[in-house]
Chains A and B, each alone.
Chain A
Amino acid sequence: GAGVSQSPRYKVAKRGQDVALRCDPISGHVSLFWYQQALGQGPEFLTYFQNEAQLDKSGLPSDRFFAERPEGSVSTLKIQRTQQEDSAVYLCASSPGWGSVNEQFFGPGTRLTVL
């Protein structure tokens, strides 16, 4: 498929476990964004990559959150020692980075539930 894919779609973790969420952006897209969406809220920005460079991580809520995009394509969001407040949908989006539209294409999200 040509869209953004994310895996797993659902993840249940026990409090204290580490989790890793994967994002496969659209091929050739320079920009990649991670968002966190709590129930009933709009998505909130976590971090932004331009190719492999993480240019903005101001939205990461704590140092337990870590993201990487080592080869400028696939990205992984890792959450260490998960807490109940980490329960949310994690959305990945990619975009060309520029252009007349420069829309962000969102994946379906990973729903994380921390017990």
Chain B
Amino acid sequence: DAKTTQPTSMDCAEGRAANLPCNHSTISGNEYVYWYRQIHSQGPQYIIHGLKNNETNEMASLIITEDRKSSTLILPHATLRDTAVYYCIVRVLADNYGQNFVFGPGTRLSVLP
């Protein structure tokens, strides 16, 4: 079972910030929070990841609470092309720990014109 819970769906107006929440109350100390998104008919695409500090890249910002039990992905100026399913996943950094990505159903974000 996925270690995260996310809302099933969200709407956001084009040009506004999209804030996607994720709960991961059972996260372990060595597990990172990863965000991926999947646009229709494509494979999932990496967005951002973090351990405990807030992170920002050209795509998004990741805000992780101090207790690490939840996080929020922020798309600062959503466009129609950001319409996708967004997955929040917790996992250790290295593959050879034997942990794969466990995807939940994700949040279906619809950016509306």
Q: Which residues of A contact B (CB under 8 A)?
A: 4, 30-31, 33, 35, 40-45, 48, 50, 55-56, 59, 91, 93, 95, 97-109
Contacts and interface: CB of A to CB of B under 8 A. Distances in A.
B105 A4 contact: no
Interface string B71-108: 00000000000000101000001111010111111100
A103 B93 contact: no
Contacts of B46: 101, 103-105
A48 B43 contact: no
Given A50-B95, A97-B94, A102-B95, A45 B100 contact: yes
What range describes how many residues of B lie at the interface?
20 to 34
B24 to A, nearest CB: 15
Interface of B: 2, 34, 41-46, 49, 85, 87, 93-96, 98, 100-106
For the complex, would chain A's binding face be called helix, strand, loop or mixed by DSSP majority?
loop
A69 B85 CA distance: 30
Contacts of B95: 30-31, 48, 50, 95, 97-98, 102
A42 B85 CA distance: 9
Contact of B94 (A42, A45, A55, A102): A102
A56 B98 CA distance: 7
Contacts of A31: 95
